[in-house]
Amino acid sequence: MNPRNLLIFILLFPILGAFVGLILGKKEEKYRDVFNVLMTGITFAVVTFLYKYVAVQTIEVSVPYIMGTGLHLKLDVFRYIFVWITSFIWFLVTIYSTQYLISYKNRNRYYLFFMLTLGSTIGIFISENFLNLFTFFEIMSLTSYALVIHDEDEYSHEAGDSYIVMAVSGGLILLMGLFLLYDYTNTLEISQLQLAVQNMGNMKYFISALIIIGFGVKAAMVPLHIWLPKAYTAAPTPATTILSAILAKTGIFGIMITVNIIMDGDFIISSVILVIGFLNMFIGGLLAMLQRNLKRILAYSSMSQIGYILVGIGLAGILKEHAAIALYGTLYHVINHAIFKGILFMSAGVIYMVLHELSINKIGGFGRDKKALKVLFFIGLLAIIGMPGFNGYTGKTLLHTALSEAHHMYGGIWFTIAEVVFTISSSFTVAYLLKIFVAVFVEKSDHHIEEAKAKITKNALFPMGILATVVIYIGIQPNKILKLTEKALEPFGKLHHVEPHFYSSSHVMTAIFTILLGVSVYLLFVRKFLRKGSGEHWWYENTALQWFNIEKHVYKPAWKVIFRVSSVVLKAIDVGLIKTVTLFSDGFKALTLMEIKDENTLLGSVTRLGQVAMGKKEGYITKDNPVVRNVKQEVGQLSRKMNSVTYSIFVFAVVLVVCLFIMIK
């Protein structure tokens, strides 16, 4: 079987299957549900089958005349990690969705956009051309927007507004970066850009900043994270699981490509990413402790966990040839986060299916007698806090080892502070997960909510059980994943091989110390200051509601100022254009144009027209004049550039129109 054909298959099958499912759903929803499970299962099976080819050599496919520059797909082991975890999680979430969405409206529409999002997400991870990647990235933003606003109530539309505004703004900034990148390098092939940017000078910092901001929005990178708590809370739980476990990784993927491959781990860029990563870890963890809505807690938790991955990306840059340990930790946490966050969000979804409520002030005690749900959530808890024997421990251990290596290499107080922030942020994780677990699965409340009767079906628990099994397997056999990550480092250049010792006494003791510190934070801060009441009559307060709000106090006022200033500037430009058009129309009156037969005649006529308009009727510039030849070259180059952009915008516009038509209908 030709692996190149299989690569095209995993891209097109979910996209085409989305419309087949739409047709089936209009006739019989059971057929659609079965078809969707089979489709995602087949996609996952094909991706798994592809590993035997990818492990030997990179798979590449080029299709000319698509998006101007052609469609260039590539699958190596690095990209395979993202594609595999995407297809795996999507398959399980599709099974979960068949139970979760039973009482929801517009299920057919939901599944259409759910599957289109899968296809575009895979497209992002296998795109070798940055223009292809951008096109799939924007399509994914649009299709996932339909998932965020699925409930169509006031809150979901508000969340959707924040999501789509940030996504489109980030996309435009990313596109600007790609325009400049192409202008300076004359290529958008990712494998060629590392060499092409070497002689770019300081301009590479501006370009990389634009690209990182574009991807950073999707990764919920501080301060671009404002959409995350709203969107995660508003979307149906299966969509929230995908947003956290997978779609955030599209931003991470783009940042890794930019920082560690194209910019070759530039020290300045890597240092900025490192600082932002620590901010994500700390701020996300702190805000998660203060929340009361279960999904909102987990949303800020995702923001914090993304911080660990950003720290790994930054450390890989500053460690240079010793970057292997940081990249191992980064890729481990990409995998681990998708798995344990899948368990936690699905657990929240099960609670919502029964109670239609997620405030821990109202669901306290619900899980006291729900043994299967309690065990599964507890496994997810142990994984995310980094308990030895569970998958989260492996990634965090590698990242902390990389941080210690950087501290040893560079020294100084800043890395000492970084170690402290890493430990405190990890303790926050323990505190907010204990807040959930104790409130929902241990304590009694005066709501008597544990008496709620509802059958939690196998369709909901089975995917969580699979993920819990993987959590334990990776925790016990971390070297199995290590073999995969070793092969994934090829795109990052020649690196010194390292042999991590996951369960050394120092690593285990560090993990236990952090967990105990987290328990202390829970007891001394969460229980003492945030929890109110006594006995069975208790509740939590959210003191962060009165804090500074970056969206309310910065972004919205800034948008208003930008809009007003832009209106004045554009009005002035319009006046200037009107004067210019008037000037050139006077030139038309003074000039009788010859019949335009070819490009040279056209350029000569336009040049003469400009002279007449400017009052320079003498000295007609011929086609052999160097000025004309330069104009011809510029026109040709501009035409080639705009051709690619036009195709991409056209593809995006078509998808936009189709999506809007379906949503309105």
Inform me whether the pLDDT recorded for 517 exceeds 70.
Answer: yes
Confidence of residue 642 (pLDDT cuts 50, 70, 90): very low
Q: What is the pLDDT of residue 370?
A: 86
Average pLDDT over residues 341-364: 90
| pLDDT above 60 (res 575) | yes
- Give the global pTM: 0.84
Give the pLDDT of residue 638.
45
* Residue 57 DSSP class: S
The yes-or-no verdict on residue 621 having pLDDT over 50 is: no
Q: Which of 126-130, 291-295, 365-369, 374-378 has the lowest mean pLDDT?
A: 365-369
Residue 599 has pLDDT above 70, yes or no: no
Give the Cα separation of 289 and 525 in Å (integer): 9
Q: What is the DSSP string of 182-220?
A: HHHHS--BHHHHHHHTTT-TTHHHHHHHHHHHHHHHHTT
More confident residue, 403 or 553: 403
Pairing status of strand 537-540 against strand 531-534: antiparallel
Q: What is the dihedral of CA 419, 422, 424, 427, to 10 degrees?
A: -130
Is the separation of the CB atoms in 149 and 157 below 8 Å?
yes
Q: Is the pLDDT of residue 196 over 80?
A: yes
Instruction: Report whether 310 contacts 219 (CB < 8 A).
Output: yes
* Mean pLDDT within 65-86: 88
Q: How far apart are CA 456 and CA 372, in angstroms?
A: 10
Residues in the chain: 665
Q: How far apart, in whole angstroms, are the C-alpha atoms of residue 591 and residue 293?
A: 72
- Cβ contact 426:396 at 8 Å: yes
Q: Which residues of 220-237 are buried (b: 16+ CB within 10 A; e: fewer)?
A: bbbebbbbbbbbbbbbbb
Q: Output the pLDDT for position 623.
A: 44
Is residue 648 predicted with pLDDT exceeding 70? no
> Residue 645 has what pLDDT?
46
443 vs 79: CA distance, rounded Å: 44
Task: Please state, in angstroms and rounded to a whole number, the distance separating the CA atoms of residues 194 and 61.
Answer: 21
Q: List the chain domain ranges.
A: 562-664
As a whole number, mean pLDDT of residues 270-298 equals 94
Predicted pLDDT of residue 614: 45
Closest CA relative to residue 642, chosen from 182, 279, 211, 247: 182
pLDDT (average), residues 606-611? 48
Mean pLDDT score of the chain, rounded to an integer? 84
Q: Residue range 529-535: average pLDDT?
A: 84
Residue 364 pLDDT: 85
* Token reading at 66: 């698509």
284: how many CB neighbours lie within 10 A of its CB?
Answer: 28
Query: What is the rounded distance in angstroms from the CA atom of residue 333 to the CA atom of residue 398?
Result: 9
